[in-house]
Amino acid sequence: MGSYPQTQLVNASWQSLNLATHDKYAGSSSFKTQPSTLSPTPTIRLAPVASPSPSLRVSGTNALGLSLLSRLDDEHLTTTSADIIAIHGINGHAHYTWMVDGNDGPFWLRDFLPHEIPGARVYSFGYDFRVLFSKANWDLTSISRSFLTQLIAARRGRLRHRPLVFLCHSMGGLVLKQALIQARLDERDYPGIKESAKAIIFLSTPHRGSDSVTWPLLLANVINASLAAGSQLWGRARTDLLKSLEKDAGGLHEISVNFRNQAAGIRVVSCYEQNVTPPLNELVVNEYTGVLGFPGEKLIPMMGCDHRSIARFASRDDANYKLIVREIKEAIESAGK
């Protein structure tokens, strides 16, 4: 791809952000409380919408929304085979996030995974959630509702109860958590989602802060890693959105807490990076912040992976790719018992 303007890394200390000026910006932060017995679920409100940026298009295909990467005739689809859904994170892309060397290398979700699991449908969900000058005006609840609505549309009729396996990179895991919370709150609108969710594989998803790594600092590290990639990004860092993220850091924690109530019966696998992501000097998500602490949660350190490469595999012989495939297969097999 062509060159893009250099982006400025976020000040990880966050102290330099002046929250007093926050209301001047279009990307104001707000919390929404849904009527239910669950704790209120906060959301992030981002800034302003229009048509998708050209950088979100791959080979003329709109990468926003739920896109099917594997093709099967309806008559060959069974009710027991799985639907595998990949969700990217901040500054991510429905295709590029999962591709080695940007858009020039293997796209393992499309090129490898369908061959490993016959009968499975593989999807990637794309949304505009960037800390740059984008024209998107989304909050986390809106993104999650859009995801659920498109997922329901893809699973009508006899396909409604196919097992669901989710692959979430970085803060894409928070999108999914919010979606599963929402599916529980509005079961009539999103029937079958909660019951069909059999496994979630988190790839360097920031689940929690710690005494030494607070939520704002954790978010700053995630943003820094995504901005450092530079390949599919354009414009300068949006300070209004960064201020919103800092203000809503506690809200992201609440989403993770509420998600605990939705995770019963779901196989949870948390994979975390082992290598520092250049030009940072520390892990973005480590063995503490990348773990939920749930009973039965499986933990996988991904050897040789940093925060970006943990979602990219160059061949079917990649040892980390084989780990992910094994987890998907075991989840599908367990769902059929």
Flag whether pLDDT at 246 surpasses 70.
no
**Alpha-carbon 151 to chain mean position:** 15
One of 2.40.30.60, 3.40.50.970, 3.90.550.10, 3.40.50.1820 is the CATH number of 35-335, namely 3.40.50.1820
Residue 250 backbone phi and psi in degrees, to 5: -65, -30
> Looking at residue 239, what is its pLDDT?
54
Q: E-assigned strands of 50-163?
A: 57-58, 61-62, 65-68, 83-87, 121-126
Q: Kind of pairing, strands 65-68 and 121-126?
A: antiparallel
> Looking at residue 243, what is its pLDDT?
56
d(CA 309, CA 239): 27
> Looking at residue 242, what is its pLDDT?
54
d(CA 112, CA 106): 9
| Section 307-316 average pLDDT | 96
Flag whether pLDDT at 217 surpasses 50.
yes
Dump pLDDT digits (tens) for 82-139: 999 999 988 889 999 999 976 678 999 999 999 999 889 999 999 987 655 455 555 7
> Looking at residue 5, what is its pLDDT?
33
Cβ atoms within 10 Å, residue 336: 11
Q: What pTM, to 2 d.p., does this model score?
A: 0.77
| Section 205-227 average pLDDT | 72
Flag whether pLDDT at 275 surpasses 80.
yes
d(CA 187, CA 202): 24
Determine what percent of the chain is predicted with pLDDT higher than 90. Answer: 42
Instruction: Supply 91's token pair.
Output: 């500054």
Q: Report DSSP letters for 169-182, one per residue.
A: ETTHHHHHHHHHHH
Angle between helices 215-229 and 239-247 (to 10 degrees): 150
Dump pLDDT digits (tens) for 159-209: 888 999 999 999 899 899 999 999 998 999 999 998 999 999 999 998 886
Query: Which of 13, 255, 241, 33 lies closest to 138 in space, CA to CA?
Result: 241
> Looking at residue 153, what is its pLDDT?
94
Chain position carrying tokens 């302003």:
48
Residue 168: strand pairing partners? 87, 202
Band of the pLDDT at 48, cuts 50, 70, 90?
A: very low
> Looking at residue 60, what is its pLDDT?
39
